[in-house]
Structures are given as C-alpha cells and as structure tokens.
Structure 1
Amino acid sequence: MFPIHRPRRLRSHPQLRRMVRENIVTTNDLIYPLFAVPGEGIAQEVKSMPGVYQLSIDKIVEEAKEVYDLGIPSIILFGIPDDKDGEATGAWHDCGIVQKATTAVKEAVPDLIVMVDTCLCEYTNHGHCGYLEVGDLTGRVLNDPTLELLGKTAVSQAKAGADIIAPSGMMDGFVQAIRAALDKAGYQDLPIMSYAAKYASAYYGPFRDAAESAPQFGDRRTYQMDPANGREALKEIELDIAEGADMLMVKPALAYMDIIWRVKEATHLPVAAYNVSGEYSMVKAGALNGWIDEEKVVMETLTAFKRSGADLILTYHAKDAARWLAN
C-alpha cells in the first residue's frame, strides 16, 4: 500500500514512459483510403472532409507513391463512376474505375498493398448496396441475388491486381459467396477482409459526400447493424470466420471500441478498425477552429484503437500520422 507502491515512479521521465508503454502506433498499422474518379488531372477536395480529395487515376498513382514513401503499407480504393445503374455495372466491369485504378497503382508501386472496397452502393442509381425489388422505396436489399453481383465484383477486382478484397455491404453469406467466386476463378490465395461488424451509423455522413453514395430513399438499417447491439457483432464475426474471412473489420471505430475489444477477444484473426469520415471531420473542424491540438488528438485516438485491440487502422489521418511518427 501507499507509500510503498507509487505508480508515478514509472512516469517520471520521457524515456522511462517509452520503455513501459503498452501500446504503440506505427506506420505498419495504417491503411489510407482513396477515392478514384474518371478523368485526368482531377483533385477535387471533399467539402465535408478537409484534406481529402476525389482523385483521377493519375493523381491516385501520385498519392500511392507518397503513401508508400511515408512507410504506410496499404491503401483502400473506393470508386465513383461516370454512370450508375440498377445492375451496379461499374462495380464489376473490367473497365470499372476501381479496377483501372488498381492496375495503375500496382504497375507504379508494386510493393504497396492495394485493398479494394467490394460494395455496390457507389455504383447503383438508388445508392443501396444491392438489388432492390422493382418499385421498392424502402431500401430493403434482396440478399441472395446481390451475392452473385458481389462475387462478380470481387473476381474483376482480383483480375485487376487487388491484393485484398474488402466486402462492406453486410449481406448475409457475402464472405462465402465471394470466397467461392474467387476460388473458382483461381484466386484461392487472395485474402478477404470482411466488414464483419458494420453499424448503421450517423458517423458516415461525410463519406457519402466523398463517394457520392447516399441512398436516394430509405436507409440501410435493414442490412447494417443496430448501434445498440454488441452481442450481434460476435454472431456476425463467427459467421464470417466460418465462411472464410481472413481478417475482420469493425466500423465505425471511435464509438465502438468496446466492440473492437470484444471481437479481438473472440478471435485469433487480425482485427481492423475503420476511423470513419465523421470521426475525421470532427477532429478537422475542431483543429481548424483552434479548439484542439490536431496531432495530439489524432495520435491519442489511434493509440486508443490499438489499446482496444485493433491490429490495423483505416484512417484518413494516415499520412499526417506517418509524418508525425517520423518526427
């Protein structure tokens, strides 16, 4: 008891604090999201996400080179096509925007890991993540027919050179359908990072500006998880593991660190946390107004994700964090 035990002894010097630090963020933990658009020479800033841009493929390649030079091992690609339709053609077509961006990045920076978002909402004319019943204005996606589209999309992304397939639509059975499609096409060694616990969150607002993927009607609560539920996340990850997932993701991260912890405790697979757009934009807004110290808040937050059990962090702060870590 006090005064024999004084925890402050181990906090008395910066080097000593470093020596006993339990969780450390490194560039190896980071994955940087990028948004690809058609055209050339395009770098259009997303108004609700300062410092984040919609980029043409030539600019995506420039960003990929910078990311690699900063020591960040991976990017994840999202696409905004010229045209959208009910079949989500831009998602699975061999000349889709993500497919072309993937090939260009792998040719320019072959050692950078290219993860691809395997979803349909950016490519459908209604903004939902799959097929809808004709005339349905509720947003209730037809699960099983959508699985075939997801399989086609994953195979086309694999052909383009993707290193990791990351399905995010929260369809029942989507990991199994994608695994079967990839294996049949000869991509048995291509890993799947499943958005295993993806919540119907209000934190996604700025992303929908960046990806131009807001639903035209209804919402996504019939397929994304209720924010009130925790045990359900464990059920979802158990199913995805059984279907062949190689890595698991929890999205969002900041308000769901309890879920990250529970998922990590329940599996030996790598667990990723998605530090989503709303979380990013809140920090940016606070920093731009001088209310918070951006570097300190970001690094504290990323460290908290690690402390909660995340092995990997998808974050729009990745480049800044890499620079801060280098210094």
Structure 2
Amino acid sequence: MRGNDFIKGRGAQEQVKNRFDALSYQMRDDFLNYCAAEGEEAAPSKTAFLDTFPKTIVNKVTSPDVGMEFSLNPYQGCEHGCVYCYARNSHEYWGFGPGLDFEQKILVKRNAPQLLEAKLRSKSWKAAPIVLSGNTDCYQPVERKLEITRQLLQIFLKYRHPVGIITKNALIQRDLDILQELAKDNLVRVNLSITSLEEKNRQLLEPRTASIKKRLQTLELLSSKGIPVNVMMAPIIPSINSHEILPLVKEISERGACGVGYTVVRLNGAIGEIFASWIRKAMPGKADKVLHQIAECHGGSLNDSRFGTRMKGDGNIADQVAQQFAIARKLYLKDRERPVLNCDLHEQYKDGQMKLF
C-alpha cells in the first residue's frame, strides 16, 4: 500500500500514534515498494478480536451533553470504521492507536452478561436506563457470532430493567423477539443512526455499517412492532450531509420514527488528523471547504470540548442546521413523542422473578 492509496473498507486511512506512547514508527516508501514488489502486506489488514475481562460493566456518565446517565459497552473499538467517530480517542487508553487500530483491534467483554446480572441484582442498585453503545456499537459485525448483546437484552428482560440501544446496524432485527417483550412494559427505546440518504456517502463515511436501505427497513420494521425508534442524524457534516436534513426527516417520519436528534461533527484529539487525512483522499475537491466549515462551527477550531456547545456548535452554519431541524420536526414529527422508560418494575424482579408478596 502506497501512501496515496485509499484503503477501501476502512474509515481511517493510516495508523495514528497513541499519544501516551513514547515511541512511534513510520513505514518508509522503500519498505512499501519492497512489499508491493514481493506481493506482501506491509501491515496486517485483518481484524483481531482480543478478549478482555473487566470487573465492572455499567459506567456512570458524567457528561452533561450526551443525554444518558449510565452506559454499557460489550465491545471496545469498532469494526464499522466510521471516520468521524468520537470513540476513537478512547482506544488510546487501551494501548492502541485511534486510527486503523480502532477498527482492526476489537476488545471483547465476554463476561459482560454475568457482570450486568450481578449489577441488577445488587441491593444498592436503583433502576435507571442503561444505554448499550454509549461508546462503540453493540451490534458491530462480530456480534452476529458472539451474541453478547443478545445475552444482555435477555438479562434486561429477565429483571424487567429499562435499556436504551444506539446502533447503525440492521443486525438488531435478529433480536426482535426480545425487543417486543421489553416494549410491552415500556422497557426499551432504540436510537438508530442514519447519517445520510446517499449510499455513496455512507460507504465512504461508515464503510462497514449496514446500508441506508437496510437501516430504513429496520426503522420501519421495529416501529411496526411497537418498538419506539428515535433516529440520530449524527453527525451533521457541513457540505457533506447538511443539505439532507428535511428529506431525511420526512423519510424517517413516513417509516414510523418517534423523534429525531442530531449533533454537529467535532474532531477532537486525533480525530482531526484522521478525518483530514481521509477527506483529502475520499473527497479531495471539497476537503478544504469542509474542514473550514467544521472549524466555523466550533469557534475556528476542529477541536471543541466546550460543554453546552460542543455537540451542536455555534455560528452561522450551526444556527442554520438548528433552524432546519426545528422546521423538519414541525413539518414531519409534530405529534410524535419519545416515551419515558419504565423504571418501576425492576425492584419486583430483583431475584429474577416477580415477587408475589
């Protein structure tokens, strides 16, 4: 692979140094040329799955911007490879890079179901919605084989505990049986990420995710079965998908969405470097324009850590995006409501079955 080649099927286009590492390495052109001549891979391209064994699984979320109190992530790193993903930076705390490592080295928490069950049975635990995928997608491709997320949902159902799900993978349809049972007691809400209606954009931005067609079909199916689905158009990237707000909200309204949310892209930490490298290869003609417009949404910088503004941005472009969403909600989602999850049943099921007395 030469430095200017676009890596199909991956978001990040290069390895990025872990900021905590004292040493780093670079692949020189002469080495890359040698590998090409010999027909050898310069670096492994296959995804590696690494078992890890945490002692706790439910995380307290302290950020005031993300709309959740507790999260649970059965996987760290994500093979979906979304180039803009804010979770890339967290991979550095595990000793890996936020670039290709984030997509190729996936940490698997096989003991997550046992840890969750212990948490829900704890006398000190008071029911509050726990969101699957606060960091990385709980329905990324390896879930088809491992079924850790399905086991987690079975535990939430057993203990009648409220759960939220964030995903952009149609694999969630596999668990329709459990989701329907949870929905009967208002114990589940799905947040389905649909960033664009243009498949070409999806293939570049989110290379290993479900197609737009499959996501829209997933929205329609879940909604028709009584499972509330909120759509997240996240992130909005100026001059890439910012023109799609009204048509996308109209489309999801017709397929049964109960609401829509959004964020404006922000490129914190190493993500700025990763995104800039990607867009100069994927969309060279508009790279400078997009990067300048992203910076305009965040006080002139790609990196924005300001609570209260970092998720929605500020300035003219961010204001226009907010106005378009206000119009879209009024036109297409005026009478829709997102249900508040039921936290009242769990105490009766702490031992795994309903208490009669």
TM-score range, shorter chain: 0.3 to 0.5
TM-score of the superposition, structure 2-length normalised? 0.40
Max radius of gyration: which structure? 2
